[in-house]
Amino acid sequence: MSVDTVSLTGWGRTAPTTALRFRPRSYEEAVATVRGCGPRGSIARGHGRAHGDAAQNAGGSVLDMTALNRVRTIDARSGVVVCEAGLGLHRLAELLLPLGWFVPAAPASRRVTVGGAIGSDAHGLDQHLDGSFSRHVQELELLTAGGELRTVRPGTELFDATAGGLGLTGVILSATLRCRRVGSPWLSVDTERAVDLDDLLARLCSGDHRYRYSSAWVDLHARGRATGRAVLTRAEHVPRDALPAYARRVPLSFRPGPLPAGSALVPRALPGGGSGGAAGGLLSEVRYRAAPRYRVGELQRLGAFFQPQDGPRRWGGAPGRAGSVRYQFVVGHGREEALRRIVGRIAQRRCPASHAVLKRLGAGGPGWLSFPVPGWTLAFDLPAALPGLDRFLDGLDAEVAAAGGRVCLAKDSRLRPELLASMYPRLAEFRELRAGLDPGGAFRSDLSRRLSL
């Protein structure tokens, strides 16, 4: 087992803290690390795709789980996989697709581990139909604070606390997953432009049920009548017998594709990080106008479609030296006016918001701290050095809480703890279970200390 001292951040590269990093290569080494974690505790970490501080632990230890990445079994008939928690979803997809199966609830980045997807209860582009990642977990192995290995299944309190529990109930060592049957490596992709936010919401309401995958890029720089205009992209798997002859010859394989045409026109980074002012508005205008008004049936390889967060950042540049803050919230159906006010506030303030994605969420998962609930979720990046950022986002937090919504803890790096209970009604149950399961605080993170989880 390798050990070193490192400075770690989330994917947004904000608020670095230093921890002792352990890289266990066996369950025995993981057990030994947890038992000897010391007064500052420990937290599991995968590829570091959490945007905020959920996988950091200042002055304590961090378990880098990426060496525990073996696949134990794949049942090619049922699509059930047993694998270790450090396995990346990109590698799992590479193994599954030749057998006619695909990763469930696939998030926007392939560089998420199985353990991270459970700990954050990841919600993919198919959440509106298939729920979040935990709904596809049949059981998991959990290393608890006392060094005990426990098999945890859905329908139990420990499962509900662990799914979306951000690693605070223990270290997920392995999981049994149900995967999705697919007949080809192709998706049929429909793209259309929405002229404003109301147009976008209407299109999502009327058509989302016909598509497996759905999301919209929202132009948060547009104002006036164009406020909330968007490019909506939706896709469905294509059976092999419905493909043209050239596509039928393509083997079932997961091959990440190149960046879409036109991305080379966008600079890799802009001054100050992000896309503010006239430059940001121009880039958004170019992106919106470059999208087709209405295009149906475009064939795309699975590997190219599931890549938005894996290539170089485009359409808005890199996050800048100070990093970026990812803000994601959800408000329920019937609370569209709150969504309109928030989008309007961002546009009127001319925030240098980038990578804005709006999705329609379906039924939530069982996790007490799971983010998804039925409604509308919007996520976007802002430069961490933006003047007045904390005050502005505090205002958005209050707006979201007043509408009965919540922010995503796996993306969070600055939420005020006093709003947490109103956003997550089962918070008290989570804290109570944690207190009984881990009275000595073996599992801690920067996020858990900041929010008193």
**Interval 241-273: pLDDT, tens:** 999 999 999 999 887 654 443 333 333 333 333
pLDDT of residue 84: 98
Of 192, 186, 149, 188, the residue nearest 171 (C-alpha): 149
368 and 166 in contact (C-beta within 8 Å)? no
What pLDDT, in 10s, does the model give residues 77-108? Answer: 999 999 999 999 999 999 999 999 999 998 77
What pLDDT, in 10s, does the model give residues 22-45? Answer: 999 999 999 999 999 999 999 999
pLDDT of residue 111: 83
> For residue 17, how many other CB atoms are within 10 A of its CB?
17
pLDDT of residue 307: 61
Burial code (b: 16+ CB inside 10 Å, e: under 16) for 333-362 equals eebbebbbebbeebbeeebbbbbbbbbbbb
pLDDT of residue 29: 96
Residues with pLDDT less than 50, the chain: 258-275, 312-318
pLDDT of residue 322: 77
196, two tokens = 């404003």
Query: Which residues lie closer than 8 Å to 23 by C-beta, 6 or more apart?
Result: 1, 2, 3, 63, 64, 66, 67
> What DSSP element (H or E) covers 399?
helix 389-402
**Locate tokens 């919007």: which residue?**
378
218, two tokens = 């929202």
CA distance 410 to 211: 26
pLDDT of residue 271: 32
pLDDT of residue 315: 38
Cα angle for residues 266, 272, 273 (degrees, 5° grid): 50
C-alpha of 202 from chain center: 25
What pLDDT, in 10s, does the model give residues 316-332? Answer: 444 556 799 999 999 99
CA dihedral sign, ordered 386, 387, 392, 397: positive
pLDDT of residue 317: 43
